[in-house]
Amino acid sequence: MAELIDVDLTVDTTFPSDLPVPQDDGLYDHLTGFTIPHDISLVIAQRTTESISLADLKGLTVLFCYPRTAAPNETVPDFWNSIPGARGCTPQACSFRDNLPQLRALGVDQIYGISTQSPAYQAEVHDRLHLPYDLLSDEKLEFQQGLNLPTLDWHGQKLLRRSMIAIQDGKVAKWWYPVFPPDRGVDDLIAWLKER
């Protein structure tokens, strides 16, 4: 039986249709077969006294990295829309929420969203979007630096570029970068899971 998820229909999961398309600049190529370092521990946004070592997770873990979600009632500036791959974090998060039963049925053991936003900021997003999976904070850039992931700068803050990473028992099994449109990356993941 499919898991029922209480969805807040007031959350805007749309984005402009004319967003610039990000191009693959090769900055993820080194991750093929990469072993996740054991010294990376990320804080769980909803339970700030707990952290997770991604290298120690058993089974298939899917991470989706996103730049930043907007705060409630925040007006997204046009400049943000002009950055290839920046816009669409809420639709991306909701696409994982809405496809969770299928992802679990296809063998995904854990799903996490990761950004460099603070745990408190992410906890609000987690609750507002009714996400049935945890968000992890890479506020100290340990994950970004440990995997040498590309970033973009926004008002003096380093943000992760949008991607997805599948980790099998601590080792990168597959990565997707760039992910565009942001809410359709989960479809590529599902197609890969069905082919495994």
Q: What is the pLDDT of residues 42-95, one digit of tens each?
A: 999 988 789 999 999 999 999 999 998 877 776 767 776 666 676 678 889 999
Task: Show the beta-strand stretches assigned E in the chain.
Answer: 42-44, 47-52, 60-65, 110-115, 134-137, 151-154, 157-160, 163-168, 171-176
Q: Is the dihedral of CA 55, 61, 65, 68 positive or negative?
A: negative
The pTM of this model reads 0.88
Q: What is the pLDDT of residues 16-40, one digit of tens each?
A: 677 777 889 999 999 999 999 999 9
Which of 60-64, 66-70, 123-127, 150-154 is least confident?
Answer: 66-70
Identity of the residue numbered 10: T
pLDDT at position 6 = 45
What structural domains and CATH numbers belong to the chain?
29-195 (3.40.30.10)
Q: What is the pLDDT of residues 100-110, one digit of tens each?
A: 999 999 999 99
List Cβ<8 Å contacts ≥24 apart for 105-110. Answer: 106/190, 106/193, 106/194, 107/59, 107/60, 107/193, 107/196, 108/60, 108/61, 108/62, 108/193, 109/57, 109/58, 109/59, 109/60, 109/61, 110/57, 110/59, 110/60, 110/61, 110/62
Site of tokens 């925040």: 74
pLDDT at position 183 = 86
Question: H or E stretch including 146?
Answer: helix 142-147
CA torsion 95-80-177-5 (nearest 10°) is -10
| Percent of the chain scoring above 70 in pLDDT | 87
pLDDT at position 12 = 53
Tokens of 130: 């009714």
pLDDT at position 49 = 83
